[in-house]
Structure formats: structure tokens, C-alpha cells
Structure 1
Amino acid sequence: MNSALTSTTRYRTIDLVTIAMLGVAFGVIFWGWGKLYDVIDLGAAVGFKPAAALLAGMWLIAGVVGGLVVRRPGAALATELIAALVSMIVLGGTSWGASVLLSGLVQGLGAELVFAVFLYRRYDLPTAMLSGALAAVFAAFYEWKYYFVDWDLTWRLAHLGFFTVSGLLIAGAGGWLLVRSLARAGALDSFPARRS
């Protein structure tokens, strides 16, 4: 087998531990964000429910960060899914119950797909932003089917636009900046992301 391919697909123990730790950390953040989201509910505050998606990018960041740090096939998906699981079980879970697992799966697939399209070789800001954006697109389509079935096309397109912007900025750019900060602090010395 090609050694370059093997080095980018074979998981080390530290990769698996890091995915788990990032998933747990982001799961707690997701749980807290969910509690805050329930209080704020931006859409209700401005009278236009699709605008709430402007805050939803936070729930997409785990997949982007997991993909940027571990840089192995499946890392983005696994990190997002673990984060969803943790948010579901920590301190009574979220107001969405077990459905967050399906959300995590869908969002993680969106984030993962971008890294796969670039053959797990690009980890720059545009790639991170695309990963966050595609996670948002996947999540929006999922939410239309399960949460917002009564919305008309105008509301759905507005929701998609708001969600995509949030994915680009919060999950994509925010995730990339977080990874750069961790690399500068020396927390990623065991990963290729240390050179980012």
C-alpha cells in the first residue's frame, strides 16, 4: 500500500483520543449553547423565525475543528457525532432529546464531505469555511423535513441563507481560528495542524 495514503488514513491512538476529547468538550459547549439558544431564540426576538439559524453555526463547529486537527477520514463526522451524543446526555440533555444524534450525523457528514472532496489534503481557511457551510446546508435540509415542514419556500430559502452564513463564519472561520490558536499555544504539537 502507498505509504503516503497509509499515513493519512491510519489512525494513531492520539488521533482517537483527540476526537473523543474534542467531541466531549464541544458536546458540553453544544449543551450550553442549546440552553442559551432556548432563552434568546433570535427568530422569535426579531419576528422572523428563519433568522434563528444565524446562531446555529455553533452546533457545526465540532466537525470542522475535528477535521482540521486530526486530518483523517471520518474525523469530522466522528467529532460532530460524539459532541451531539454528549450534548444529549449531559445534565439532562437538550430540549431536542435524542434527535440531536441524527442532527450530529447529518451535520458531520456535511463537514466531512468537504475534507473528502479535497482528498484530506487541504486544511486552509477556505476549506474550513466550505466545511462549515456544507454542514449548514445538510442541517438545513434535515431541519426542513423534521422541524419546519410547514414553512413556505421563502422562509426555507431564508433559513438556508442564514444557516449557511452562520456555518461559514462561526463553524468555518471560527473553527479555523480556534485551531490556529491551539497550534500557536503548542496544544497541537502531535498533529500536522501545528504548522497551520
Structure 2
Amino acid sequence: MSTESGRETGPGTAARPTGTVQEVLAKFRSWRTVDIVVAAVIGVAVGVVFWLWNIVWSVTTPLFVAFPPGQAVVYGMWLISGVLGGLIIRKPGAALLTSIAAASVSAVLGTQWGIMVVLDGALQGLLPELVFLAFAYRRWNMGVAVLAAAVAGLSPAIRDNIAYNVTWPIEYQLTYGVIVVLSAAAIAGVGARLLTTALARAGALAPFPSARG
């Protein structure tokens, strides 16, 4: 038996969620139609960018023949959807939803990685979601955006080395992983935060708390 806020609780007494948990749950239940529509719009727009970035990746591959891990400098663009969706909509699930939507659009348009991009999109949306959750969906500054993007970068940093770079020397794999995370922080983190600020200043985010920047 324990005492919480002056009340005794025992086996027959259900513990109430803390204020932070209640706040997160309230935000999760506060999804509006406009939130869903904007998440879909972000997903479609970024999905087209992803599709174009697939071409950029293929075209630039020969430039890194001497040092293949170096190509990871451009990887961060593929991680921007979840961070951007989270920063704009600022509700639980926004990062995951926009990331899956963007990956799905990229897959439909055509990609050399097939349906796996949708699975990657889910994981790359879940990881920044966990960062936003850690801050109880209250903080949306540059530091949080960069951290969310860097954590999202851990997914390809690990999976790509297992799936595609397994024949590389270990130092190449480690270098690739580090560059992917740094690229994610710079492009998906800083980029998404600056884009959110620009959209807010342009008045495009009026229905959202992110309209304040």
C-alpha cells in the first residue's frame, strides 16, 4: 500500500496517470480533421522529394567510388518527413504518420528499394516520435529537432550496414553510420526546424500551435 498526494492506494485502487501522461493522452485524443489532412499533405509532398532523392542518390554514387561511406552526407533528406510532421502538427503520432505517408508515396512512385522503404519509413517515424514523447510534446526548439533527427538516423546507420554494407571493412561501416547520423541532424533536424519557422512566418501554419514559430 502506498500514499500518493495524500491518498492511500492499494491493490484494489487503480493508480491515476500522472499529469504528464494525462497531458500526452489529451493531445493524442485531440487530433482534428485538419491535422490528418496536413499530415497527408506533408507526406505526399515529402514523398515526391524522396522519389527525386532516390535519383540523386543513384546519380551521385559514382562520385564516391573511392570512399563509399562518404555518400551518406546526402542521406539526411530521407529522414526529414517525421521530424517535419512532428514539428508542424505537434501531436502524438504525427511524426509516425507523416513518415509512413511519405515512404508510401515514394514506394508508389517507384524506388530501387521496393516495399522496404515503407518499413523503413515506419521506423524512421517512430524514433523521432519517441524523442518528442520524451519531452512530453512540449518542446519544439532547434535542439529537440536535431536530436529527433539524429535518433531517426540511427535506423539506417545500423540497418544499411547489415543489409547493404556487410562486405565493407568495419571502419567503413562505422564511418558510414556516423555520417548518416550527422547528415540526419543537419538536413532533417536543422532543415525541418528552419522550414517550420519559415512556414510559420509566411502564415501557412495558422491552424497549428507551430504558427508561433
Deviation at 1:69, TM superposition (A): 0.7
Greater helix share, 1 or 2?
1
TM-score, structure 2 as length reference: 0.85
TM-score, structure 1 as length reference: 0.92
CA distance in 2, matches of 1:156, 1:111: 23
1:137 pairs, out of 149, 154, 157, with 154
**Count of aligned positions:** 193
**158-167 or 136-145: which moved more?**
136-145
CA distance in 2, matches of 1:150, 1:116: 37
Q: 2:24·2:92 contact (CA, 8 Å) conserved in 1? A: no
Q: 1:17-166 to 2 correspondence within 5 Å?
A: 17-41=37-61, 44-45=63-64, 47-90=66-109, 93-166=110-183
CA distance in 1, matches of 2:45, 2:145: 19
CA distance in 2, matches of 1:14, 1:41: 40
**CA 1:133/1:40 → structure 2, altered by over 3 Å: closer, same or farther?**
same
Aligned to 1:189: 206
Q: 1:128·1:176 contact (CA, 8 Å) conserved in 2? A: yes
Give percent identity, aligned residues only.
Answer: 44
**146-155 or 176-185: which moved more?**
146-155
Deviation at 1:136, TM superposition (A): 0.6
One-letter code of the match for 1:126?
G
Q: Which has the larger radius of gyration?
A: 2
CA distance in 2, matches of 1:18, 1:100: 21
**70-79 or 174-183: which moved more?**
70-79
CA distance in 2, matches of 1:153, 1:36: 26
CA distance in 2, matches of 1:182, 1:117: 25
CA distance in 2, matches of 1:190, 1:127: 22
Deviation at 1:152, TM superposition (A): 2.9
**94-103 or 25-34: which moved more?**
94-103
Give unmatched runs, 5+ long, in structure 1.
none
Deviation at 1:144, TM superposition (A): 1.8
Q: 1:103·1:142 contact (CA, 8 Å) conserved in 2? A: no
**CA 1:5/1:58 → structure 2, altered by over 3 Å: closer, same or farther?**
closer
CA distance in 1, matches of 2:172, 2:47: 29
Deviation at 1:81, TM superposition (A): 1.0
Q: Which runs of 4+ in 1 moved over 6 A?
A: none
**145-154 or 125-134: which moved more?**
145-154
CA distance in 2, matches of 1:168, 1:19: 21
CA distance in 2, matches of 1:12, 1:58: 28
CA distance in 1, matches of 2:126, 2:87: 15
